[in-house]
Structures are given as C-alpha cells and as structure tokens.
Amino acid sequence: MNSGDNTYIWQASDWPAWRYDLALLAEPLVAVSRAQGLLLGRLADVGMALRDQASLAALTEDVIRTSEIEGERLDADSVRSSIARRLGVDIGALAPMDRHVEGVVELVLDATTGCEADLTVSRLLGWHAALFPTGYSGLSEIRVGTFRDDAGGESPRVLRRLQPLRRWSHEQVKQVFP
C-alpha cells in the first residue's frame, strides 16, 4: 500500500488494490506464528477455567480498544459482563446491560469467532444494525442496516463528536467520501 501523507486508508492511490512484498513480510509473519504456537502450547497446559478467563480478558481488551479508536469510551465492567454472558463464563456479579455495549460486543464476537466466514453484505449490515439497535446515533435518526446514499443531494459523511466534549450537538465532518 502506498501510504504517503494520507490520513485515511481509502485515500491511498492503490485503494483497495494493495500490493505488498511477501519476502519482506515473511520474517514478521513467522515470528507471529511462532508466538501463537507458544501461546497455544501454554494454554493447553492450563485448566479450562483459566483459559476462559484469558479469553474473556483478551476479548474485553479488544472491544474496549476497538471502540477507543473511534473515540468511544466503554465501561470495562459492562463489556466484560456482556462477553461473559455470551460465552457462558461465570464471573460472579454481572454489570447492568448497556445496549450500545451489547451491540459492539456482538459485532466483535461475530468478527473474531466467525473470522473464517465470508464477509457478506448481509453480515456487514447486520453489524451496523447491532451498533445502532434503536435507529439513532445519539439524537440523530439514521438508516440502519443499509448502505448510505446521496438521495438527499448530499454526499455521504462520517460524523464524529469533537473531543473531549461529549455532546451530540457538537459534530464535525471528519471524512467526506467521493
């Protein structure tokens, strides 16, 4: 991929037909594969309860960090409880359910546990519906589970709240797609 001075991946001149040098990637890929093997070997030696706790911790961290990329701060206890409920892991007292957290957890679990499945339009739009179960993003009504269009005469935009303000009334256009 030609990254250059681009801020976003879709701005690259070769988007989405990337090129890469397999010889250059071979050594890091071998190192990752070896580390995975060592980790799997260690997990085989521990009991099921410890493996469940390790999976729970890793998935919790994954959901929290994934959301932070988008400027979202999720409650770690709610995320952990949601994942534990879905995996059937007993963690004692569970935090109250948060429908936004539930949607993010559902998406991440589907993406990670179903990573071999095809990424179909139906699956992608299902993820979108899971993230916005009420049909609203903040106070703004949105079309859920469908692609955006420019039927209103306006190009599709990605809106992001200004940080650190946590008000929906302060939005800015972060990306405008051609």
Q: Report whether pLDDT(168) > 70.
A: no
| 3-state secondary structure (DSSP) of residue 154 | coil
The number of beta carbons lying within 10 Å of the beta carbon of residue 17 is 8
Instruction: Decide: 81 and 91 in contact? Cβ < 8 Å.
Output: yes
Please check the confidence at residue 164 and state whether its pLDDT lies above 80: no
**pLDDT at res. 83:** 92
pLDDT tens column, 83-99: 998 888 888 777 888 88
Helix/strand/coil percent split, the chain, to 5:
50, 10, 45
C-alpha–C-alpha distance, residues 61 and 18, integer Å: 29
Q: How far apart are CA 127 and CA 104, in angstroms?
A: 8
**Residues 87-143: tens digit of each pLDDT:** 888 887 778 888 889 989 999 999 988 888 988 889 989 998 888 888 888 788 888
Residue type, 139: L
Distance CA 79, CA 99 (A): 11
Claim: this prediction has a pTM higher than 0.75: no
What does the alpha-carbon distance between residue 53 and residue 63 come to, in Å, rounded to a whole number? 15
- Give the tens place of pLDDT for each residue, 42-68: 877 877 777 888 889 999 999 999 888
CA distance 161 to 170: 6
**Which residue type is seen at 44?**
A
Domain ranges of the chain: 48-146, 148-178
Q: Is the peptide bond before 156 cis (omega within 30 degrees of 0)?
A: no
Q: Is the peptide bond before 16 cis (omega within 30 degrees of 0)?
A: yes
Question: Above 50 in pLDDT, residue 4?
Answer: yes
Both tokens of 6, joined, read: 């681009």
Give dist(CA 20, CA 29) in Å, integer.
13
- Candidates 143, 141, 140; CA nearest to 168 is 140
